[in-house]
Structure 1
C-alpha cells in the first residue's frame, strides 16, 4: 500500500468512524460501570490500534499534540517550495532597439522615444515586435521616429526587461511564454513521480526514513538549483528536487494522522494541510522581502537540513511497525504514549495487538471476480470510475490554476498570492463542517458551481474595480478549496473496501493531469486575458454537473462489497443505531 493511498484512506475511514462514535455517544452518554464491564469482556477480534487509542491510550493527548505540532512545522516549510511561481513569473519586457544604442538586457524600460520604435497595444506597447529599422543614427537620449518604418513590424532579436531578479531575465526567456510556464508543469510531474518513490521507501523502510530522505532532497537539490547556469539546468534540478522531495508533505501527513484516534483524524489532517497552505503564504512574504530568485531559493531550502533531527525526535508509526511485525519497537512506543498521555494500556490489549495471528484483518480477501470484470459487469461502478477522476482533474486544475494566476491580478503580485493561499485555510475547515451537515455530494457540487460562477464573473468585472475583482477571485479559491478537502472523503465512500485504495488512487493520479496543465494557463493570456478564468469556470460547471449524477454518502455505511457500493443512497445503505 502506497503512502498516498494510506493518506487518503485515513481521512475517509475517520469520517465514517466519527459518525459511528458520535452515534454511540448520543445513545449511551457518559460511560457507566456496565460499559466498563463490557470493555473487560471485549473479544480479541475487536481490538485494534484504533480501539486502543479510543479506549486506553487517548485519542489526542500530549504525545499526539507534540507530534502534530512538529510535523505541522515541517508541513509549513514544504509549502514554501513553490518558489517557481515568483522566479519564473512573467516579467515585463520589450524589444531591444540597437539603433538607439541599447545593447544590454536592462536599460530604462520606458524612455520617451519608445513609441517611435515599438507599436502600442491595448495594454501598453508590444512585447514581442517592433517597427522595422531604416536607420542607425540614434542614441539613448535621441531616437527619432524617422529611424523606423512604422508601417512594417518585425520580431524582436533581443529584449529589455523591467526587472532583473527573475529567471526570465537571467536566462533571457522573453516571448517564450510556454517555455517559461513549463517550470510549473515540471514541478507537477516530479510530484507525481514522488508518490510512487516515497510510497515504496515508506512501506519498505519506514515513515521516518521517507520523511528524512524527502526533506534532505528538498534542501540539497533546491540549494544546488539556486546556482543554475542555464534554464535547462534549472528545470532538470527542479524535476529531481520534486521527484525525491515532494513526498515530505505526504510523509508528515501519514505520521501525524496514524497516531491520533479516529475522532480527531480528520481535523488533524486538515490542520497539517492548512499548515502547508500557510507555508505558501510565508513564501509570498519571503519573495516580497527578498527579490532575487537565487536568494529566495536559498532562504527556503537551507532550513530543510535542520529537519534531519526529526529522525531522532519524531516517533516511527506504530501501524507500520505492527504491519512488518516489529513488536518490540511497537510495544516501546505504545508504553511511551501511555506515559506521556498519563494513561494505561492493558496487557490484554498489548498481547492481542502485538500478536499478528490475532490482529483484525482490515483488508478484503478480494474473493470476487476481479476489478476489471467487476467494472464491466457493474454499470454503476463503471459510471463512477468514469466520473470521479474528472472531479479530481478539475479540482487540481482550478485550485492550482487560481494560485498561479493570482500573481497577475495586480502589481502587488506577492500580496495577491498570499491572500489567495490564505483563503484556502477556512475553505478546508468549512468543508469538514459542511460535509457532515448538507452532505458530501452537495458540498462538492455547490463548491464547484460557486467557484465556477466566481471565475466566470471575474472575467467581466472591469480592471478598474480592483477590490470587487479580488473578492470574487478569493471566493473562487475558497470554494474550490472546500471541494479539494471533501473529495477525499466522498470518493472513498463511493467505492467498496476491496477496490477502494486502487480506485481512489486512480482518481487522484488522473487528477494530477490538472495540476500539470495549471501552470501553463498564464500563457493563455497572450491570446485573451480572461481565457484562464473562463476555462476554470467552464470545467467547474462540467464537474459540478457530474457530481449530481452520484448518490449522497452522508449517513451511509462505508461499503465493503460491490453490492453495498451499488446500494449507496438506498434505505438499506443507511447507518442504523445499535
Structure 2
C-alpha cells in the first residue's frame, strides 16, 4: 500500500497538468480573469468611496445678525464677523463675539461695529460651501475626528472579514465566497445611501466591510489557483493593476457625480449583478480536489483543455484520484500548536516580528497617500486619479526587477526612495506645487512597487505547511496601518500640516532598514519545513 501511495504522489502535479496538458494561461484563464476584473474594480470602488462621500466641506459660522434664510457662503462682509483663518480666507469654526449693546444698523448691512473683535466664540450653527458629502447631512463641519474616524472604523471591519471569508472559501468554495462578499457589499452600500444619521452611516460602513470586503481576496485566489506557475506572478500583478484601474474609474465617476447619495448608488448598484457569477464562473479545481469532488474537477479540467485547444490525458486524471485517496487515508501526526513552533525557532520568530512592520508601513503609506491626495493643490478628483494611476507602472516595475536583481534590493530601494520623497515633500514650500505633485506621485510609485514585492517576499520566507497562516498574520497586523491612515488628514489639519508625510517617511525608512535582517530568497526553493526556512540565506538551494 505504501508503495502505491508513493507512486501516486510522485506521479501527479496539478501545476504539471496545467503546464503540459491543459495550458497555463490560455483562453479559458484569460476569460476567467476578464470576468474577475469586474468584482476587483468594484472592490476598489468600495475601498475608496469614503474618501469622496466623507470629504471635507469648507464651512463658516452662521451669523444670525446678518445671514438671511438662504445665506451666501462668502459674502463681502464676512471678515467683519469672522476672523481670518490660518490657511483660509476666514476661520471655519469661530466667529467674533457679540457686543453687549450692539449699535443700530440699517437692514441688509453687517458692519464690524456689530461685533467684539477682541473676543472669539465657537460656532453654534454653520453655513457650508456645498452639500456634496456627509459632512453637510450630519453637521460635521468642525468635528474633524468624527469625520475621519469613518474610514478608520470601516477598516476595522476588514479584520473580521479575513477569517470569515477564509472560512467560507475553504468550506464552500472560492466562487461562493466571491458572490456572497460582492452581493453583501452591493446591498449594504445601497442601503447606506439612504440613511439620515451619522450612527447608522457608521454602522453600515463597518457592516459592509465586515461581510463584504473579501471579494478581492476571493478573486485573487480563484485566478491564481487556475493559472500555471509560470504566470502566477503576472496574474497577480494584473489583478493589482485592475484594482488601480478601479480607483482611477472611481475618481472619474466621483468627479462626474459629486453628491454623495447618488454617487454611492452609482458605485454600488452594479455590484448586485456579481451574484450571477455563482452560475457563470467555474469553481477552483484545486479546491474541488481538496474536497474529494473529482467528478467536478474532471469536468472543469476537460473544459479548460477544450477551450484552450489542448488535451487532458486519462493518466493524469487517474493519478489525481489516486493521490487524493492516498492522502485521505494517510495518518496525520500530532503536532504542537503553531505559536509554540514559532517561539522555538528564533529565526522564524524574528521574521514574524519584522514582517508585520513592513505590512503596517505598506497599508499606512498606500492608503494614507490615497486619502491625502484629495487635499493637494488643484482638482481633487484629478489628483486622486493621478495618484491611483501611478501605481500601475509601480506594480510592473517590481515584476521586471524581482527576478533580475533580487527581492531585497527592490524592497530596500523602494522603501528608501519612498521615504526620501515623503521627507522632501514635507519640507518643500507649498508654492512649488508642481515639484510637490511630482514627489508625491513618485512616492506612490515606490510604495506600489513595494506592495507587490512584499507579497512575493513574505510568502517565500515561511514554510509551505504554515505559509498561509504566517502570511495572514503579517497581513492582519498590517491592517493597523490602514486603520490609522484615515486619521492622517486630521493630524495635518489639527497638529502639523507635514506630519502625515513625516510619519509615512519614518515608517518607510524603518522598514527598509528591517529588510537587512532577513535573507535574500531569489533563486531559492520554496521552504517546505521550518528547517528549510531557517536555512534560507545560509546555504544555496536549487530552484
Normalization by structure 2: what TM-score?
0.94
Residue 56 of structure 2, aligned match among 80, 86, 90: 90
Give the corresponding residue for 1:128: 93
Give the corresponding residue for 1:21: none
Residue 527 of structure 2, aligned match among 556, 559, 563: 559
Deviations 1:229-255 (A, max 9, x none): 111111111111111211111111111
Give the corresponding residue for 2:491: 524
Residue 332 of structure 1, aligned match among 299, 320, 323: 299
Residue 568 of structure 1, aligned match among 525, 536, 540: 536
Give the corresponding residue for 2:3: none
Residue 72 of structure 2, aligned match among 91, 108, 128: 108
The answer to whether the 8 Å contact 1:91/1:161 transfers is yes
- SS class of match (1:344): coil
Residue 347 of structure 1: how far off its partner (Å): 0.7
- Aligned pairs (5 A) from 1:246-261: 246-261=213-228
Residue 138 of structure 1: how far off its partner (Å): 6.4
Give the corresponding residue for 1:224: 191
Residue 74 of structure 1: how far off its partner (Å): 2.3
- SS class of match (2:131): coil
Residue 218 of structure 1: how far off its partner (Å): 1.3
Deviations 1:476-523 (A, max 9, x none): 111011111111111111122233222111111100111011011100
Moved more, 555-564 or 352-361: 352-361
Q: 1:136 to 1:546 in 2, by over 3 A?
A: farther
Give the corresponding residue for 2:162: 195
The answer to whether the 8 Å contact 1:392/1:507 transfers is yes
Unaligned runs of 5+ in 1: 1-41
Normalization by structure 1: what TM-score?
0.88
Give the corresponding residue for 1:381: 348
- SS class of match (2:517): coil
Give the corresponding residue for 1:285: 252
Residue 314 of structure 2, aligned match among 347, 351, 356: 347
Give the corresponding residue for 1:450: 417
The answer to whether the 8 Å contact 2:8/2:323 transfers is no
Residue 283 of structure 2 is aligned to residue 316 of structure 1: yes
Distance 2:230 2:414 in 1: 25
Distance 1:364 1:44 in 2: 15
Residue 56 of structure 1: how far off its partner (Å): 0.7
Q: 1:43 to 1:369 in 2, by over 3 A?
A: closer
- SS class of match (1:152): strand
Residue 139 of structure 1: how far off its partner (Å): 8.2
Give the corresponding residue for 2:501: 533
Distance 1:228 1:475 in 2: 39
- SS class of match (1:436): helix
The answer to whether the 8 Å contact 1:100/1:139 transfers is no
- SS class of match (1:132): strand
The answer to whether the 8 Å contact 1:364/1:498 transfers is no
Unaligned runs of 5+ in 2: 1-6
The answer to whether the 8 Å contact 1:47/1:360 transfers is no
Deviations 1:523-569 (A, max 9, x none): 01222111111111111111111112222111122222222222211
Residue 43 of structure 1: how far off its partner (Å): 6.5
Give the corresponding residue for 1:50: 15
Give the corresponding residue for 2:438: 471
Residue 42 of structure 2 is aligned to residue 77 of structure 1: yes
Moved more, 403-412 or 191-200: 191-200
Deviations 1:144-202 (A, max 9, x none): 11111111111111111111111101111011111101111122112221111111111
